[in-house]
Amino acid sequence: MSRTDLIADVFTIIRNAILIKRDAVDVPASGNIKEIMAILKKNEYIDNFKLIEDKKQGLVRVYLKYTAGKSAIRNIKRVSKPGLRVYVKGKKVPSVLRGRGIAIVSTSKGVITDKEAREQGIGGEVIGYVW
């Protein structure tokens, strides 16, 4: 079975793992997924992640973060989809929950957060929201 939207699949895997309170979950690897996980780790939404080699695409093991029994990720949502891409200009980069969450934006400078995109004044494709 082929996957049309790997990022949406990864977000769903993480959401489902949080619902059953798993400590770690394996997701398929790709360049964008690795960059998204690095952003989530930098913003303290996950504890850590590591790459696992197999003979195929590879896996990323994501160690989820919990504080007092509650997940650091309250929700993770895909915005831009293969059927409907969502692009924003540098001055119109969205803010999530008035700055309490992050928007992940794919720009010409790589995958960055909404705050970094605003500081650099660049726009791009809005991948998703995390809060």
Residues spanned by the domain of 89: 76-130
Q: pLDDT 10s per residue in the chain (131 long)?
A: 568 999 999 999 999 999 999 999 999 999 999 999 999 999 999 999 999 998 889 999 999 999 999 999 999 999 999 999 999 999 999 999 999 999 999 999 999 999 999 999 999 999 999 99
* 19 and 67 fall within a common domain: yes
pLDDT, position 55: 87
- pTM confidence score: 0.93
Same domain, 45 and 81: no
14 Cβ contact list (under 8 Å, min separation 6): 25, 27, 62, 64, 73, 76
Number of structural domains the chain divides into: 2
Residue 54 sits in the same domain as residue 89: no
Asked if 46 and 81 sit in the same domain, the reply is no
pLDDT of residue 3: 81
pLDDT at 2: 61
Distances 131 to 29, 58, 77, 102 between C-alpha atoms, Å:
22, 27, 9, 6
Domain boundary among 27, 49, 71: 71
Q: Are residues 24 and 54 in the same domain?
A: yes
In this structure, the answer to whether residues 10 and 53 fall within a common structural domain is yes
Question: Is residue 10 assigned to a domain?
Answer: yes
Residue 1 lies in a domain: no
Residues 85 and 100 in one domain: yes
Give the pLDDT score at 87: 98
